[in-house]
Structure 1
Amino acid sequence: MTYLRPPTASDAELSDRFQPVFDLVAEGNVERERDRVLPHKQVEWLKEAGFGRVRIPVEHGGFGASLEQTFVLLADLAEADPNVAHIFRNHLAFVEDRLNAAPSPAGDRWIRRFLDGEFVGGGWTEANNGTFANLKTTVRRDGDRWLVTGAKFYATGSLYADWLDVLGRGDDGTPLTALVRRTDPGVELVDDWTGFGQRTTASGSATYTDVPAQVGDVFPATERFAYQGHFYQTAMLSILTGITRAVRRDGIAALKARGRNYPQALDPTPTVDAQLLQVVGQVSVHGFAAEAALRASSRTLDRVAAAQAAGDLEARKQRVLEAEVATAQAQLTIIDAALRATTTVFDALGASGVSETLLLDRHWRNARTLASHNPRVYKARILGDWLVNGKDPVPNLAAVGRGGQGD
């Protein structure tokens, strides 16, 4: 028994509710990117609209969206602003974790917190080259509570959060995740993310010094939901998919704004030049491939969730394997589509296309940054080993991060 239920939302209902908010988020995204203005107001709009509870079943007060619908919505948000979409990644993942848990008073409290708009940021990646296999952050028992001490990086969304989801080592060495309040003494957050993309996600440093966590807010990391890694990866792929659509949109607008063409052109009017139209057409193909891959892979996660809700552990194991394959295939497809689209779009534009006024380079920078979170270089080999030799492609989570934690 879990909080999961079969999805009940329609695409039209979800779009009607959230697309107007996404349109508001899109306004000023270039200026926020240029000046590194943190989108606190935009995040609040989305929280007020209930985007953080989109996956919660209707009977528990949410909107009853499927995982496929959730990730397509996240792509729609990323088309408006990929930084804002990325901020929601950790929150949506923790909501999914609580939905997968057996009902309990602690679970009921978390569902109520989500319905009240309380927001969760991330805190898993160890600072100073630490790994999951060598956790330095501690979650130690202190009477009827826990105390969290350690240092994290890539703490995406933390500056916007009410709660921080922190991975640490328990007294007996067991990996634990603790939820601590962002405003508690001992929490220090610094917006020191130096990446050239995703610059307003607050993916910087977090330091915890004896920060309290209450009973009901600490969970064994091994009990997190079975498709957690796939969820995090698919959220990233949603954002990349949104970027491919955004670059198509902005590329078309920039082409229409061109007033002259090169001497070698097929037509003096850029919007009539068949070769430039071909470039835009190819960019649209990349977007189509990305969205098709996103939908196909996210549907495999819905099947895992259905097995979990039914308590069918054998089916869940098989479906996790299927999701691993589909997610890896989607990662290779979508990253390639996003990087190609954000690069080749400039072939349809003149020198004005590189203007800092347009800031079209933000699409490539954001895509390249997201694509670097999880190493695609290994994925095709792993897929091939599975297809040819039957080598299990599902990673051993205990061994993750031996040489670098990734994402």
Structure 2
Amino acid sequence: MSEPTSSLQYATAEIEELRQVFQPVFDQVGKGNLDREKDRVFPHEQVRRLIDAQLGAIRIPRSLGGFGASLQQTFQLLRELGAADPNVAHVWRNHLAFVEDRLNAPRSPATEVWIKRFLSGEFVGGGWTEANNGTYADIRTKLVPAGDHWLLTGAKFYATGSLYADWLDVLAVNPEGVPTTALVKADQPGVSLTDDWTGFGQKTTASGSATYTQARVESANLFPATERFAYQGLFYQTSLLAILAGITQATLRDGREALLNRKRNYGHGLAERAADDPQLLQVIGKVSALAYGADSALFTATAVLDEVAHAHIAGDAEAKKQRLVEAHVAVTNAQIVIIEAALQATTVVFDALGSSGVSETLLLDRHWRNARTLASHNPRVYKERILGDWHVNQADPTKAYGLPAGQSE
């Protein structure tokens, strides 16, 4: 057997083992979620608890000091974290994606340094989206050489997780115009992070602006964007889908509890006790089915993602290419199913609750606001078109994006 060329390995973890480690931490994260939502309190303590529990090492193989989880297991856990607090879950998107990138990268001393950083609790945030209406076709963030290092200047928006991070993953172009990702130390001169996110949902993800003014970047921390792992865009998208599935599960949880706590029913209801009313029970049953559909779609799509990773481990370029097409189709299908489930569940749940359901004490509207915000990433109308084009014309769904790794805005 040939020597592996990357640090990626077949999964060795069991999901119940992982849950035993992380579910108690997720439960702690869930406490205080309502107060943080009401007062826009940033969950620094909660993110740190997860870092200390080594959630960031979940995909690192056991032989290298991590948990050895599969992609399917990773996204199952992210779904469960999303049910506890979707803001905290979203903070992990950039970090987990960069860990996956370093695991896919060829083995080298620089890669080993990054794996040690992950294991020691160093956290990655950042963003690729250009501020000031820039696009991936018009990247205005620049890298210029400065002796033995580089200087980064530019502005980004949607810099999710940046306020919690030690490192920022930034997309720029070098003097030759080559798209390059730079890992920038967050606590240095020339880096300015601003909490100016104005969205009505996902309010504490630190998804505001990041401005770089000749920020120092070491040469070892530059990576050509075209060499990022092939399923990067799918990983980013599936992270959002996992959180949306978590929100749908949380809607079922909170809707069931709110119905049980209803003290009275309408005069034209079908039972004196609201929790005995068949029509209201039907609503909760519908939310349950929507949550089940979201979970099933996530479970199916992430199994296909694991097949892409397996082809990479095996060094089978042809199989990897085919698995990527299948994964794009699977994740796109899942996106359409999960977004629909989340938006419908977070709306219809109020039909079971009456006027008491809109109380700011319950803050059940947070589920719809958070779901709607996440669903607005990578709009599904485009994904429906891409999926239809594949079915009818066999158009390659991997060619729809501006970068080979499939990162869409």
- Give the shorter-chain TM-score range: over 0.9
Report the 3-state secondary structure (helix = DSSP H, G, I; strand = E; otherwise coil) of the residue aligned with 1:168. Answer: strand
Q: Distance in 2 between matches of 1:218 and 1:224?
A: 11
Q: Distance in 2 between matches of 1:259 and 1:335?
A: 32
Aligned residue number for residue 214 of structure 2? 210
Q: Quick one: which amino acid aligns to residue 164 of structure 2? A: Y
Q: Distance in 2 between matches of 1:397 and 1:381?
A: 13
2:227 aligned with 1:254 = no
Q: Distance in 2 between matches of 1:48 and 1:64?
A: 17
1:146: how far off?
1.1
Aligned residue number for residue 16 of structure 2? 12
Q: Distance in 2 between matches of 1:395 and 1:353?
A: 45
Aligned residue number for residue 160 of structure 1? 164
Aligned residue number for residue 244 of structure 1? 248
Aligned residue number for residue 44 of structure 2? 40
2:329 aligned with 1:325 = yes
Q: Distance in 1 between matches of 2:321 and 2:153?
A: 34
Equivalent runs, 1:57-76 vs 2, <5 Å: 57-76=61-80
Aligned residue number for residue 25 of structure 1? 29
Q: Distance in 1 between matches of 2:383 and 2:217?
A: 37
Work out whether residues 55 and 65 of structure 1, in 8 Å CA contact, stay in contact via their aligned partners in 2.
yes
Aligned residue number for residue 338 of structure 1? 342
Report the 3-state secondary structure (helix = DSSP H, G, I; strand = E; otherwise coil) of the residue aligned with 1:192. Answer: coil
Q: Distance in 2 between matches of 1:339 and 1:142?
A: 49
Work out which of the residue numbers 351, 355, 359 in structure 2 matches 1:347.
Answer: 351
Work out whether residues 132 and 398 of structure 1, in 8 Å CA contact, stay in contact via their aligned partners in 2.
yes
Equivalent runs, 1:223-372 vs 2, <5 Å: 223-372=227-376
Equivalent runs, 1:101-120 vs 2, <5 Å: 101-120=105-124
1:123: how far off?
2.1
Per-residue Cα deviation, 1:156-183 (whole angstroms, up to 9, x for no partner): 0000000000000111000000001000
Per-residue Cα deviation, 1:367-391 (whole angstroms, up to 9, x for no partner): 0000001110122222121112111
Out of 360-369 and 253-262, give the one that drifted further.
253-262
Per-residue Cα deviation, 1:322-360 (whole angstroms, up to 9, x for no partner): 000000000000000000000000000010100000000
Q: Distance in 2 between matches of 1:96 and 1:139?
A: 24
Work out which of the residue numbers 78, 81, 97 in structure 1 matches 2:82.
Answer: 78
2:182 aligned with 1:182 = no
Count how many residue pairs are aligned between Structure 1 and Structure 2: 403
Work out whether residues 271 and 277 of structure 1, in 8 Å CA contact, stay in contact via their aligned partners in 2.
yes
Q: TM-score, normalised by structure 2?
A: 0.97
Gaps of 5+ in 2: none
Q: Distance in 2 between matches of 1:123 and 1:288?
A: 32
Aligned residue number for residue 199 of structure 1? 203
Q: Quick one: which amino acid aligns to residue 44 of structure 1? A: R
Q: Quick one: which amino acid aligns to residue 217 of structure 1? A: N
Q: Distance in 2 between matches of 1:139 and 1:292?
A: 43
Q: Quick one: which amino acid aligns to residue 90 of structure 2? A: H
Q: Deviation above 4 Å: which 4+ runs of structure 1?
A: none
1:215: how far off?
1.9
Per-residue Cα deviation, 1:117-154 (whole angstroms, up to 9, x for no partner): 00000221100110010000001221111111100000
Q: TM-score, normalised by structure 1?
A: 0.98
Aligned residue number for residue 54 of structure 1? 58
Work out whether residues 133 and 399 of structure 1, in 8 Å CA contact, stay in contact via their aligned partners in 2.
no
Work out whether residues 402 and 408 of structure 2, in 8 Å CA contact, stay in contact via their aligned partners in 1.
no
1:212: how far off?
0.8
1:406: how far off?
6.0
Q: Distance in 2 between matches of 1:406 and 1:98?
A: 20
Report the 3-state secondary structure (helix = DSSP H, G, I; strand = E; otherwise coil) of the residue aligned with 1:394. Answer: helix
Q: Distance in 2 between matches of 1:149 and 1:387?
A: 43
Q: Distance in 1 between matches of 2:189 and 2:408?
A: 29
Q: Quick one: which amino acid aligns to residue 49 of structure 1? A: A
Q: Distance in 2 between matches of 1:9 and 1:354?
A: 42
1:395: how far off?
3.1
Aligned residue number for residue 169 of structure 1? 173
Q: Distance in 1 between matches of 2:193 and 2:223?
A: 23
Task: Give the alignment's Cα RMSD to 1 decimal.
Answer: 1.1
Q: Distance in 2 between matches of 1:266 and 1:398?
A: 55
Q: Quick one: which amino acid aligns to residue 389 of structure 1? A: N
Work out which of the residue numbers 214, 219, 226 in structure 1 matches 2:223.
Answer: 219
Q: Distance in 2 between matches of 1:101 and 1:152?
A: 25
Work out whether residues 375 and 406 of structure 1, in 8 Å CA contact, stay in contact via their aligned partners in 2.
no
Question: Percent same amino acid at aligned positions?
Answer: 63
Report the 3-state secondary structure (helix = DSSP H, G, I; strand = E; otherwise coil) of the residue aligned with 2:213. Answer: strand
Work out whether residues 79 and 245 of structure 1, in 8 Å CA contact, stay in contact via their aligned partners in 2.
yes
Q: Distance in 2 between matches of 1:132 and 1:109?
A: 29
Q: Distance in 1 between matches of 2:317 and 2:182?
A: 26
Per-residue Cα deviation, 1:11-51 (whole angstroms, up to 9, x for no partner): 11100000000000000000000100000000000000000
Report the 3-state secondary structure (helix = DSSP H, G, I; strand = E; otherwise coil) of the residue aligned with 1:211. Answer: strand
Per-residue Cα deviation, 1:101-122 (whole angstroms, up to 9, x for no partner): 0110100000000000000002
